[in-house]
């Protein structure tokens, strides 16, 4: 498999990339900063909100048949405090970019009659999150798009799914607690813990396998029980 992971310089993306490498796949990674990507043989430097065509060309050139849309941005803010530039940045990075990259990957997948697309959403796109309305909207958009694309691409052997992590033990997760302490957040999670990046990588390992060929259009909450209730 030729697997591309966006936002692979740290956190969830890096865990996915390292896991895929350990499984022997051909791994291609992308992020805005070059230095963290130098440990990988194949990488593309790209800001998804500015020069995404570069990554689109890279996808076509390297015949990517597994696309992991992981890169994302988060802003904790009341709606009235959001600037138009912030709204555009979030929507471009979290929703428009994944859809564009899918459009560039799909022609080869159709030709091959096989492909896997996994979007990393968020539990905030399932449940909503006060103070993160634009982020939640962008992640909810990925869920809707995956359902439609799953129908559109099913006959070509291409599956499209969304994983919705809850609080994840990464730099981004630990810095996104807003006005609350990490201990207060954990007290509201049924399993009383943050999800590890490795758990998400493990779910992707399954979703791209032949055993999961019948799983498509699904929104999978990997959130330590957060979506169930408290």
Q: Is residue 96 part of a domain?
A: yes
What pLDDT does residue 6 have?
98
DSSP H or E segment with residue 158:
strand 158-165
Domain-located, residue 230: no
Q: What is the pLDDT of residue 175?
A: 60
Domain assignment present for residue 177? The answer is yes
Asked if the structure places residue 227 within a domain, the reply is: no
> What is the full DSSP assignment across 192-217?
SSPBPHHHHHHHHHHHTSGGGTT--S
Strand partners, 29: 5, 43
Distance CA 221, CA 224 (A): 9
Catalytic option among 76, 135, 206, 230: 135
- pLDDT tens-digit map of 203-224: 999 999 999 999 999 999 999 8
Reading the block at residue 83, the tokens are 């600037």
Which residue ranges in the chain fall short of pLDDT 70?
171-180, 230
Residue 9 belongs to some domain of the structure: yes
| Residue 135 annotated as catalytic | yes
Q: In terms of Cα–Cα distance, which of 3, 33, 23 is closest to 11?
A: 33
Instruction: Give the strand pairing for 66-69 and 219-222.
Output: unpaired
Question: Is 138 within a domain?
Answer: yes
- The answer as to whether 191 is a domain residue is yes
State phi, psi for 153 to the nearest 5 degrees: -110, 0
Cα angle for residues 140, 145, 148 (degrees, 5° grid): 135
Instruction: In whole angstroms, give the CA distance from residue 219 to residue 119.
Output: 9
Are 198 and 12 spatial neighbours (Cβ–Cβ below 8 Å)? no
CA distance 8 to 25: 15
Residue 145 domain boundaries = 2-222
> Widest CA span of the chain, in angstroms?
50
Q: Which of 144, 141, 140 is nearest to 128 (CA)?
A: 140
Q: Whole-model pTM?
A: 0.93
Number of domains in the chain: 1
Q: How many helices (H) and strands (E) does the chain have?
A: 9, 7
The CATH number of whichever domain residue 35 belongs to comes to 3.40.50.720
Whether 169 contacts 228, CB under 8 Å: no
CA distance to 35, 94, 112, 185, per residue, from 162 (Å) = 29, 13, 22, 24
């Amino acid at each position: 498999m030729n697997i591309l992971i966006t936002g692979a310089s740290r956190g969830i993306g890096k865990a996915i990339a390292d896991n895929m490498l350990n499984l022997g796949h051909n791994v291609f990674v992308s992020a805005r900063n070059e230095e963290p990507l130098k440990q990988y043989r194949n990488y593309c430097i790209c800001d998804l909100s500015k020069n995404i065509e570069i990554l689109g060309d890279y996808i076509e050139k390297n015949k990517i048949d597994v696309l992991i849309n992981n890169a994302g941005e988060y802003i904790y803010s009341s709606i009235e405090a959001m600037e138009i530039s912030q709204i555009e940045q979030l929507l471009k990075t979290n929703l428009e970019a994944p859809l564009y990259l899918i459009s560039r990957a799909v022609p080869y997948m159709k030709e091959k009659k096989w492909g896997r697309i996994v979007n990393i959403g968020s539990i905030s796109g399932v449940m909503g999150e006060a103070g993160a309305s634009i982020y939640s909207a962008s992640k909810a958009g990925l869920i809707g798009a995956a359902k439609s694309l799953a129908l559109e691409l099913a006959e070509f052997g291409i599956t499209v799914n969304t994983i919705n992590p809850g609080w994840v033990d990464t730099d981004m997760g630990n810095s996104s607690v807003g006005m609350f302490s990490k201990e207060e957040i954990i007290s509201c999670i049924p399993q009383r813990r943050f999800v590890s990046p490795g758990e998400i990588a493990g779910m992707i390992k399954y979703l791209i396998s032949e055993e999961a060929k019948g799983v498509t259009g699904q929104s999978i909450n990997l959130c330590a029980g957060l979506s169930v209730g408290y």
